[in-house]
């Protein structure tokens, strides 16, 4: 295994939603990640782990725990988690509580405010920031959105402004 390999865990969220013209709503189909990585010409060894595709507002505690368990069990030390922005902080804090004192993983959560499939999406930018951040940060749990990196225990989503900010 390449020590700089990155595991990307996808869980759905706005990042991976598609517009369903028949239903007139955003739904899930396949993940956009393979296409984005190819389009961005990423040459790093990436291992994709598509756990499920759910909106984080309806994510169950069992699903949240599955994300945490898969992240901790990753054989790659660099882990990016694509997650819905509404409860991303909640899952990141759960992960932070469950990692061991000597855990050498770098965990970086990211997502999108606007789906990749729609114009003006922030998905590709946020993914690029997460892939870069996971390679540069020390062990711990982080969130990167809008070009900023936050410690998981010092961030919130400001729903009025549509941004993440330090607490």
What is residue 22's predicted lDDT score, i.e. its pLDDT?
63
Q: What is the pTM of this model?
A: 0.89
Q: What is the pLDDT along the chain (167 residues), one digit of tens a residue?
A: 455 899 999 998 776 655 555 666 656 566 777 887 888 898 899 999 988 888 888 899 999 999 999 999 999 999 999 999 999 999 999 999 999 889 999 999 999 988 776 678 889 999 999 999 999 999 999 999 999 999 999 999 999 998 999 99
Which residues have CB under 8 Å from 83's CB, separation 6+?
11, 13, 56, 67, 91, 92, 109, 110, 111
Dihedral angle, C-alpha 57, 78, 139, 93, nearest 10 °: 10
List the 46-54 sheet strands across, edge first. 46-54, 6-12, 78-82, 106-110, 140-145, 148-151
Phi, psi angles (nearest 5°) of residue 70: -65, -40
Architecture in CATH of 6-166: 3-Layer(aba) Sandwich (3.40)
């Amino acid at each position: 295994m390449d020590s700089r390999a990155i595991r990307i865990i996808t869980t759905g969220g706005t990042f991976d939603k598609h517009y369903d013209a028949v239903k007139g709503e955003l739904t899930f189909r396949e993940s956009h990640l393979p296409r984005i990585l190819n389009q961005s010409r990423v040459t790093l060894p990436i291992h994709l782990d598509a756990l499920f595709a759910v909106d984080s507002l309806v994510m169950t505690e069992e699903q949240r725990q599955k994300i945490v368990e898969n992240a901790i069990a990753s054989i790659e030390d660099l882990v990016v988690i694509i997650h819905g922005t509404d409860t991303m902080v909640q899952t990141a804090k759960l992960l932070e509580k469950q990692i061991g004192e000597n855990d050498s993983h770098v965990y970086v959560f990211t997502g999108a405010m606007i789906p990749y499939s729609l114009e003006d999406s922030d998905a590709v930018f946020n993914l690029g920031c997460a892939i870069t951040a996971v390679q540069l940060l020390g062990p711990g749990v982080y969130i990167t959105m809008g070009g900023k990196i936050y410690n998981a225990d010092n961030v919130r989503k400001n729903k009025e402004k549509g941004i993440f900010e330090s607490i």
